[in-house]
């Protein structure tokens, strides 16, 4: 392995929002970026903007075999991953539990929980072999503060927080840091996805609020990633102003 190569970050859900902003910032800071997502056209567009230090990989993070195949086939100059940013996630619907769509529940569990654990379990051995690494999991304040209609989404984000703490317990002494980053109301495509393309309904979520910007979260991820390795940032909760 060429020690002169820049550090590498692996970002899931990089086609929009936090993931896209994170890829851009790390690229500006001289890092290599492995950007992943389901929307190949958006990935290619972002990769073209980022240049040769970017590797686009289009797959569904909730498909275990696809995750394993993508990581197994990483080119040698991209397989020393310093940071895994588990950003892929979504919320669907705001119905009460008695009226919620089970397909929506399945998709949130598949993406927010299964996708996160598949990426973590697949990349973690590479970090162990390299003797260093940092896993940053994107949770949400919804994992700590319940609200009507947050049922399964809030449950998946509570899992992210607890899984991060348990990961840290497993990895003490192995050179791997783990952080759960838990934002509140943010202006991304998140609400558009939640309301299934209804932009008018999504816009009401942000009315009269100074929301968190994707760039705010990207800067936090970079800060966490570049702390001295003798400390571990367990959790960061960020609320809109």
- Whether the CB-CB separation of 218 and 14 falls below 8 Å is answered with no
CB-side neighbour CA atoms (13 Å) of 149:
7
For residue 118, indicate whether it is catalytic: no
β strands within 72-225, DSSP E: 83-86, 133-138, 176-183
* Distance, CA of 152 to CA of 37 (rounded, Å): 22
List the catalytic residue out of 145, 147, 153, 206: 153
- Tell me the angle at which helices 17-28 and 40-50 cross, rounded to the nearest 10 degrees: 20
Question: Which of 142, 42, 43, 57 has the alpha carbon at shortest distance from 92?
Answer: 142
The long-range contacts involving 159-162, CB below 8 angstroms and separated by at least 24 positions, are 159/112, 159/113, 160/86, 160/112, 160/113, 160/116, 161/235
Active site residues per annotation: 153
């Amino acid at each position: 392995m060429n020690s002169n190569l820049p550090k590498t970050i692996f970002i899931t859900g990089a086609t929009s929002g936090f993931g896209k902003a994170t890829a851009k910032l790390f690229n500006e800071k001289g890092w290599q970026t492995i950007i992943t997502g389901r929307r190949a056209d958006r990935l290619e567009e972002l990769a073209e903007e980022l240049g040769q230090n970017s590797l686009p990989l289009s797959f569904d993070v909730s498909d275990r075999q696809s995750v394993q195949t993508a990581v197994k086939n990483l080119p040698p100059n991209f397989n020393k991953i310093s940071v895994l940013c588990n950003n892929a996630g979504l919320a669907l619907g705001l119905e009460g539990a008695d009226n919620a769509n089970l397909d929506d529940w399945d998709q949130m569990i598949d993406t927010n929980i299964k996708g996160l654990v598949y990426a973590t379990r697949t990349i973690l051995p590479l970090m162990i072999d390299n003797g260093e690494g940092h896993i940053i999991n994107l949770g949400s304040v919804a994992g700590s503060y319940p609200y009507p209609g947050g049922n399964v989404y809030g449950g998946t984000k509570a899992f992210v927080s607890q899984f991060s703490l348990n990961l840290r317990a497993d990895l003490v002494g192995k050179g791997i840091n783990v952080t759960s980053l838990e934002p509140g109301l943010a202006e991304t495509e998140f609400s558009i996805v939640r309301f299934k393309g209804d932009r008018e309904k999504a816009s009401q979520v942000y009315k009269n609020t100074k929301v968190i910007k994707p760039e705010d979260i990207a800067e936090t991820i970079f800060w966490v990633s570049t702390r001295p390795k003798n400390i571990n940032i367990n959790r960061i909760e960020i609320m809109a102003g």
